[in-house]
Amino acid sequence: MANSKTHKSVLLICGDYMEEYEAMVPFQALQAYGIDVDAACPGRKPASFAVLPFTSLLTYTESPGHNFSLNATFDEIDFGKYDGLVIPGGRAPEYLAMNESVLDCVRKFADAGKPIASCHGQIILAAAGCVKGRKCTAYSPVKPLLIAAGAHWIEDQTMATCVADGNIITGATYDYMEDYEVTVPFQSLQALGCDVDAVCPKKKAGDFCPTAVHDFVGDQTYSEKPGHRFTLTASYDELDASSYDALVIPGGRAPEYLALDETVLALVKKFMESRKPVASICHGQQILAAADVLKGKKCTAYPAVKINVVLAGATWLEPDPIDRCYTDENLVTGAAWPGHPEFISQLMALLGIRVSF
């Protein structure tokens, strides 16, 4: 992995039951921006996620998330070759903060002045002695620990609050669609400076949609578990499609019934007729097929949706491997969430967005 002024690499420290969004969003978004990301976990090769949704209770609840495949071995890592470090949250930091090899890794990045981004992982920063005199925020229960470690606590105004002090960036937390397929594009595009509105028929800004975790665990099809509650940012009935530059359609089970909603189909047709970028992944192509906008197009989808795509008059492009994505004029299609880096990168190209270092 080269490390130069034009080619960047980042290390993502992982552990079992890290928060799902806090690992996968930076992992896939940074790759979409052209950055190499190595995900490593002390003593492990695979790792497990936890879904930590916020409900009306006094704290979050927890349910199992996706299984996350690591792409690097922690004991073999040369920390000096990375340009930055990301520490996800969840429950993993509680025990990773007791691992001296993890603390040594964090200290090396801190001493070198390299960027460190952390969410709930501030437990590890505190244990490594890296927050003394620094301005920090975090998930609120971590506040006493950070203050005891000598940090200057910054109260989070919203759950999306982030604080930068020197080379350390801290956040509070992540802000039946497939869990990743809505949140990764949503937050990746926001990180690029795009204004992103998330809407749902018959719902308004501030309402939430439950998401589903679709994982591949060796069965004949994916498994499903409850995901996060995703908060909508705009009211569907007040939409002005002409004010947007692109449309993103996540997958999951939602497309099955959204494809029956004539207002959704009319919205999709407006974007396609105006030749604005439309990016659809996994089962989202069920909506494209129902809107009758695929005739003559080349596209892919989750393999089970092939029949919808072909009957709608499109040329089927095999998603081999499953992370393969395709662009045909203004249309970007992908097969499943492992393809997010390529999916987002191709949408960026249509939007004329470039990331430079």
Q: Give catalytic residues, as residue numbers.
A: 119-120, 282-283
Instruction: Tell me the helices (H) and strands (E) count for the chain, helix number first.
Output: 11, 20
Distance CA 288, CA 212 (A): 21
- Residue 174's identity, in one-letter code, is Y
Residues 6+ apart with CB under 8 A from 231: 175, 198, 206, 207, 208
Residue 305 to residues 102, 140, 156, 183, 289, Cα–Cα distance (Å): 43, 43, 42, 22, 10
Q: Which two structure tokens, joined as six digits, stand for 134?
A: 């620094």
Give DSSP secondary structure letters for 97-165: TT-HHHHHHHHHHHHTT--EEEESTHHHHHHTT--TT-EE--SGGGHHHHHHTT-EE---SSTT-EEEE
Closest residue by Cα to residue 175 from 162, 159, 191:
159
Rg (CA), the chain: 21
In this structure, what DSSP letter does residue 59 have? S
- Residue 275's identity, in one-letter code, is R
56: how many CB neighbours lie within 10 A of its CB? 4
Asked if residue 130 lies in contact with residue 113, where contact means CB atoms within 8 angstroms, the answer is no
Strands ordered across the beta sheet of 208-215 = 177-178, 208-215, 223-231
Using DSSP, state whether 239 is helix, strand or coil.
coil
